Copies of this chain bind each other. A is one copy, B any other.
C-alpha cells in the first residue's frame, strides 16, 4: 500500500482521484462535480479538490470545461493510438540507452520481475500479470537513467492504462505475450538495443491489436482501416 506521506489534502485528493481514474473506477466522460467528490473523499472542501482537478487536468487525466466542470478525460481510439505510438517511441529510446548502461544488479532485478510474470501466467492471475507487466516496462525505461523520460513515460502509460486493459485478453495472446517477454529479456541480457527496440515495437503492436477491438466496441466503433499497416 502506497503511504500518504503528504498530509496535504490537495495531494491526497489528487492521488486518490488519479488512482480511481487510472484503475478505471471512474469511467471516461464521467462528471466530476466538486461538491459531490468532496463528500466522497473524506468530506474535504472544494478548494483542495479544485486544485487537485487542475493538476490532473495538466496530466491529461481529466478535462475541465470553463464554467462547466470537470470530467474524466475520454479518449478516442485514434488518441489512444497516438499516445501508444508515443509510448512505444519513448520506450524504444529508453531501451537503447538501457542496454548500454544497465548494471548486473539491474539485470538481476529485471529477472526477478520476469520470473514473477511467469508465475502470474502459470497461476492465471491476470490482474497481477498486468501489474507486473507494467512494472517490467517501467523498470526497463528507468534503466535508461533519464528521470524526465521515466516521468513522461509513466504519465502517458497512466493515461491509457484503462484502455489497454479494458477487457481481458484472450489466452492465445497471453501465451504469445509471455514468449515475447522471454525473447525481450534475452535481448536485454545480450544488450542488443536495436533488436530489443524492434521486439518491443512488435510486442506493443500485437498487444494493442487485441485490446483495440474491445475499446473500439466500447466507444462505438470508430473503425478506420485495421491497425495492421501500423504506425508504430
Hey, which bits of chain A sit against chain B, CB under 8 A?
Answer: 6, 8, 10-11, 47, 50-51, 54-55, 57-59, 66, 79, 82-83, 85-86, 89-90, 92-93, 97, 146-149, 152, 156, 231
Contacts and interface: CB of A to CB of B under 8 A. Distances in A.
7 contacts: A54-B54, A54-B58, A55-B57, A55-B58, A82-B149, A85-B149, A152-B152
A89 B86 contact: no
A85 B150 CA distance: 12
A53 to B, nearest CB: 9
A148 B79 contact: yes
B89 A93 contact: yes
B50 A86 contact: no
Contact of A55 (B55, B66, B146): B55
